[in-house]
Amino acid sequence: MRGVHTLLIIYAILLIVGLTVPGMWQPVAFLMFYVALGQAFNIFLGLTGYVDFGYVAFLALGSYGMAIAMDSLYQTGLGAAILPIGLLLAALMSIMLSLAVGAVALRLRGAYFAIATIGVNEGFRYLIEGARLWGGSEGIIITGAMRKIFGREMANFISTMVADVLVFGIGLLAALTTYVIIHKRMGYALMAIREDEDAARVMGINVTKYKIMAFITSAFFAGLIGASAWTLKMTYVFPSDVFLITYTVEAIVIVMLGGAGTLLGPVVGGITYGLLKYYLSVILPGFQLLILAPLLVAIVVAFPEGIVGYLKERVRGTRFEGYIL
Amino acid sequence: MLLKVEDVTKRFGGLVAVDSVSFEIKEGEAFGIVGPNGSGKTTLYNMISGVYQPDSGRIIFDGRDITDLPAHARAPLGIGRTFQIPRPFPSATVRENVAVGAMFGRAQADVKEAMEISDYYIELVGLSEQANKAAGTLTPLEKRLMELARALAMKPRLLLLDEVMAGMNPKDIGNIIELLQKVRQEEKIAVVAMVEHLMHAITKFAERVMVMHQGRKLLEGPTMEVLNDERVIEVYLGKKIREGAEGAEGHRT
User: pLDDT tens-digit profile of B135-168?
Assistant: 999 999 999 999 999 999 999 999 999 988 888 8
> What is the mean predicted confidence (pLDDT) over A291-315?
84
Count of positions (residues) in chain A = 325
Q: What is the CATH number of the domain that holds A52?
A: 1.10.3470
Digit-coded pLDDT (tens) for B95-105 = 999 999 999 99
Question: Which chain A residue's Cα is nearest to B114?
Answer: A185
Q: Which of A233-247, B132-146, B196-210 has the lowest mean pLDDT?
A: B196-210
Q: Which residue of B has its CA nearest to A188?
A: B100
Residues of B in contact with A184 (CB under 8 A): 111
Q: How far apart are CA A84 and CA A33, in angstroms?
A: 20
pLDDT given for residue B240 in this prediction: 45
Query: Is there a domain that residue A323 lies in?
Result: no
Instruction: Give the one of B73, B75, B110 whose C-beta lies nearest to A185's C-beta.
Output: B110
For the ranges A202-206, A233-237, A258-262, B240-244, which has the lowest average pLDDT? B240-244
**Interface probe, candidates A202, A206, A207, A308, chain B, greatest B C-beta count within 10 A:** A202
Question: Which positions in chain B have a beta carbon within 8 angstroms of at least one beta carbon in chain A?
Answer: 49-51, 70-76, 81, 83, 87-92, 96, 99-101, 103-106, 110-111, 114, 150, 154
Q: ipTM value of the model?
A: 0.89
Q: Does the pLDDT of residue B245 top 60, yes or no?
A: no
Considering chain B, what is the average pLDDT of its residues?
A: 89
| pLDDT tens sequence across A75-123 | 888 888 899 999 999 999 999 999 999 998 998 888 899 888 988 888 8
Cβ-defined contact of A206 to B72 (cutoff 8 Å):
yes
Asked if the model's pLDDT at residue A131 lies above 70, the reply is yes
Numbered residues of chain A with Cβ closer than 8 Å to any chain B Cβ: 183-185, 188-189, 191-192, 195-196, 198-207
Overall number of domains in chain A: 1
The pLDDT value recorded for residue A199 is 94
pLDDT of A178-220, one tens digit each?
999 999 999 999 999 999 999 999 999 999 999 999 999 999 9
**Could you tell me which residues come within 8 angstroms of residue A82 by beta carbon, excluding any fewer than 6 positions away?**
A69, A70, A73, A74, A76, A149
The answer to whether the Cβ–Cβ distance between A202 and B154 falls below 8 Å is: no
SS3 A236: strand
Range of the domain at A191: 2-244
Q: How far apart are the first and last CA of chain B?
A: 32
**Separation in Å, CA of A203 to nearest CA in chain B:** 6
The B15-25 sheet, strands edge to edge: B15-25, B3-12, B56-61, B64-65
CA gap A136, A90 in Å, rounded:
18
Residue B243 has pLDDT above 60, yes or no: no
Check pLDDT > 50 for residue B247. Answer: no
The answer to the question of residue A126 being in a domain is yes
- Helix, strand, coil share (%) of chain B residues, nearest 5: 40, 25, 35
Q: Which pLDDT band holds residue B238 (cuts at 50, 70, 90)?
A: low
Instruction: Please give the residue of chain B at the shortest CA–CA distance from A192.
Output: B89
B203 confidence band (pLDDT: 50, 70, 90): confident
Average pLDDT of the residues in B194-211:
88
B249 pLDDT higher than 60: no
Put simply, the answer to whether A199 touches B87 (Cβ < 8 Å) is yes
Residue-range domain boundaries for chain B: 1-78+156-223, 88-155
**Which residues on chain B are in Cβ contact (under 8 Å) with A188?**
96, 99-100, 103, 111, 114
pLDDT, residue B237, reads 65
Which pLDDT score, from 0 to 100, does residue A187 have? 96
Distance CA A87, CA A82 (A): 9
CB contact under 8 A, B105 and A204: yes
How far is residue A119's CA from residue A241's CA, in Å, rounded to a whole number?
A: 17
- Residue B193 pairs with which residues in a beta bridge? B32, B161
For A264-283, what is each residue's pLDDT tens digit?
Answer: 999 999 999 999 888 888 88
Does residue A320 sit within a domain? no
- Strand (E) positions, B137-236? 158-162, 190-195, 208-213, 216-222
Among the four given CATH numbers 3.40.50.300, 3.60.15.10, 3.30.420.40, 3.90.1170.40, the one describing domain B1-78+156-223? 3.40.50.300
Helix, strand and coil content of chain A, in percent to the nearest 5, comes to: 80, 0, 20
**Contact between chains at B89 and A183 (C-beta distance less than 8 A):** no
Chain A interface mutation, best of B48, B84, B100, B108, highest count of A Cβ atoms under 10 Å: B100
Closest partner residue to B89 (CB to CB) among A184, A185, A192 is: A192
* Residue B239 confidence class, pLDDT cut points 50, 70, 90: low
- Cβ–Cβ of A185/B71 closer than 8 Å? no
Q: Which of A88, A87, A67, A81 is nearest to A145 (CA)?
A: A67
